[in-house]
């Protein structure tokens, strides 16, 4: 392979994570349908044509953003597990949950997941969303060595965290809101 061809591939390989990060930010802000490839290109400071050179289209770009989202989630869960005070399954799952709550304080990853759930009927997006959920569930199970019920509860609480953050329930005093947020805390 010529050195010119190698440098083009190296540049493309170096740009993919930058474009995926730009896609995360744009799709989290506008969702799948309202975000264009041009929006992502502008965020990444490259041309739309170059985005199409890296990704076959908007769907592939959204999937790359979703995969990067799940990579970040797994990194946070691993860091949480590493920092767990106790080595019990529940202690490790709690520490991973705390790390996730910190992570979604940014809302970019949270909103990207919410938008992905809303377009999961697009077969490739649904498959990518299920693959990400499988990665998180498998990691939580293997790293915590928790029971299936404990891991299911961990995932369920993660979804409850999404609901609390997206609907801004923290600090609400109505009985129903207090019931849902009891024992849950999220960074501002």
CB–CB of 77/100 below 8 Å?
A: yes
Per residue in 96-117, pLDDT (tens digit) is 999 998 888 888 999 999 999 9
Domain range summary for the chain, segments of one domain joined by +: 3-181
Number of H helices, E strands in the chain: 9, 0
Distance (Å) of CA 61 to CA 11, 47, 124, 184:
17, 14, 11, 34
- Domain covering 3-181 in this structure, CATH number: 1.10.357.10
Per residue in 52-97, pLDDT (tens digit) is 999 999 999 999 999 999 999 999 999 999 999 878 999 999 999 9
**Model pTM?**
0.88
Residue 183's CB: how many other CB atoms inside 10 A? 5
């Amino acid at each position: 392979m010529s050195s010119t061809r190698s440098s083009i591939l190296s540049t493309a390989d170096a740009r993919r994570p930058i474009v995926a990060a730009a896609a995360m930010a744009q799709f989290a802000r506008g969702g799948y349908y309202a975000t264009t490839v041009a929006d992502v290109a502008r965020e990444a400071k490259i041309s739309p044509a170059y985005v199409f050179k890296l990704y076959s289209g908007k769907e592939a770009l959204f999937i790359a953003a979703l995969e990067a989202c799940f990579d970040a989630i797994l990194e946070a869960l691993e860091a949480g597990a590493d920092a767990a005070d106790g080595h019990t399954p529940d202690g490790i799952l709690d520490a991973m949950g705390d790390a996730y709550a910190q992570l979604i304080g940014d809302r970019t990853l949270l909103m990207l997941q919410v938008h992905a759930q809303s377009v999961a009927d697009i077969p490739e997006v649904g498959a990518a969303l299920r693959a990400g959920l499988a990665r998180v569930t498998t990691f939580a199970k293997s790293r915590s060595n928790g029971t299936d019920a404990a891991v299911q509860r961990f995932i369920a609480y993660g979804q409850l965290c999404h609901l609390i953050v997206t609907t801004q329930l923290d600090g609400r005093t109505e009985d129903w809101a207090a019931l849902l947020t009891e024992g849950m805390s999220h960074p501002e």
